[in-house]
Structure 1
């Protein structure tokens, strides 16, 4: 069979396309609103993504020549898409036993504390889950891993919200008794909404969760391997450490919260 010159030219071009360009066109990169690892701010009328995990993912993209945009969506939608579709990269999600087989785990990007918060006038002093009344109203973001975790721990009165800020507003208004969230996220949301620092009282740390960049099942193994190798290279070269050192300073100076750097990762 003869090929026309135009068909031959197209064939040669397709054979010589760099594989990372093909991946960039098909891979969707999704994140959720969880400062300071990943969040959105408005600057001069433009919405920008910020956060230490955002910068780590962008550094991986740069090393691979990947030009896919990162899109911020509600967490329940991100998880639903990643469970149903291949070629989804998502961050920052907690790695749990229940999720272990559901995703390809590319690289860890940090560790977050889950802390129970009450209003400043809360009279109880529980120091662990056993001492906490499980019938109290707990505000938690819909689709967040903390929702299913609370259910597993026997909490029966969950108030599902669209954002951490909404959870804190319910707590502040007395419509919720508790919020389960991370300290730096509470500090950021309080600052954004001009809440006083003493309006919310931390009770105790309920859990410490490693957070990851992951990929959905069905994504091509070579794509998964390239991203894992690129992430490891950035750890070895000190790029990840440099990003996290800078963000530790940003969080300390702007939010008044101290994150710890352990093995080049932020523990907040």
Structure 2
């Protein structure tokens, strides 16, 4: 074998090894929705939950990731169907438990039904009272799934909570289920007073943790690194402070 041929052979072997090594290095997709926890500004995903996620990944030594904001149904499908996907913030429910690998809790949330304060004809004293009205929900959100299970049939599906609030204001829907934090944030986005809304019924059964999660087929080593990094931020109070906006 000639010298040049040996050099080409060594180079080919090196290139093949390089390709094989990089084939296993997959960029982590980080997906979220437009909410009080995350938003898009100047082409960058920002927000309190996004800040926590970025700190977590930095502490986990993960730099190869891409953050993107989608309608919730799209973000949820990406995380449910693809590997190496981190999704936030997401309600942890029994129906979702086995579909994802759970990193950690951002905070507890309890949604309420909101109506326009001026709509005195909309009266809700029990959950089934609400089923008589048109209700705005987000596609594939836990609130939609919960209300469907309770027999609600007059639901109007939107891609996000901001569209729901617009429909409430325009009279297309009469109720929207939303945590107070989210309701205040969306009112600010639409430049309307939060006091124009009225909480009429608290959905205590939907009081659950809002989590960071990973797709089920994400490698276990990646899951453990991210979960450990999040746990440290939770333990020292950083998560709570950032989510509270302090």
Classify the TM-score, shorter chain. 0.7 to 0.9
1:187 counterpart (184, 195, 200): 184
1:33 Cα deviation after fit: 1.4
Taking the TM superposition and a 5 Å limit, the aligned residue runs for 1:25-44 are 25-35=26-36, 37-40=37-40, 42=41
Determine whether 1:56 maps to 2:52.
yes
Larger Rg belongs to: 2
CA distance in 2, matches of 1:204, 1:133: 9
Q: Secondary structure at the match of 1:107?
A: strand
Q: Give the Cα separation in 2 of the matches to 1:214 and 1:143.
A: 16
Question: Conserved in 2, the CA contact under 8 Å of 1:172 and 1:199?
Answer: no
1:94 maps to 2:95: no
1: CA distance between counterparts of 2:243 and 2:139? 28
Cα pair 1:114 1:209 within 8 Å, conserved: no
CA deviation profile, 1:160-188 (whole Å, cap 9, x unmatched): 11221221121112221101112121111
Aligned residues, how many? 236
Match for residue 134 of structure 1 among 121, 131, 136: 131
TM-score by length of 2: 0.85
2:232 corresponds to: 233
Match of residue 257 from structure 1: none
**Cα-to-partner distance string for 1:94-136 (whole Å, 9 max, x where unaligned):** 0001111111111111122211001112325534425x24121
Residues 68-92 of structure 1 deviation map (CA, whole Å, 9 limit, x = unaligned): 1211111101111222212111111
Other structure's SS at 1:101 match:
helix
1:221 maps to 220
Q: Which residue pairs with 1:111 in the alignment?
A: 108
Aligned to 2:211: 212
Task: Report the CA distance between 1:149 and its aligned residue.
Answer: 1.0
**Matching residue of 1:65:** 61
Moved over 6 A (4+): 11-17
Partner deviation per Cα, 1:19-47 (whole Å, 9 max, x = no partner): xxx65x33211111121x2222x3xxx23
Shift, 1:210, TM fit:
0.7
Residues 195 and 242 (structure 1), Cα distance of their counterparts in 2 relative to 1, 3 Å cut: closer
Confirm or deny: 8 A CA contact 2:30 2:68 kept in the other structure.
yes
The corresponding residue for 1:259 is none
Aligned twin of 2:3: none
Q: Is the 8 A contact 2:183 2:194 kept in 1?
A: no
Separation of aligned partners in 2, 1:138 and 1:38: 24
Tell me the C-alpha RMSD between the 2 structures. 2.6
| Structure 2: runs of 5+ lacking an equivalent | 1-5
SS in 1 for 2:118: coil
Q: What TM-score, normalized by structure 1, do the two folds share? A: 0.78
Q: Which has the higher contact order (CA 8 A, sep 6+)?
A: 2
CA separation in 2, counterparts of 1:225 and 1:155? 39
Distance 2:232 2:20 in 1: 27
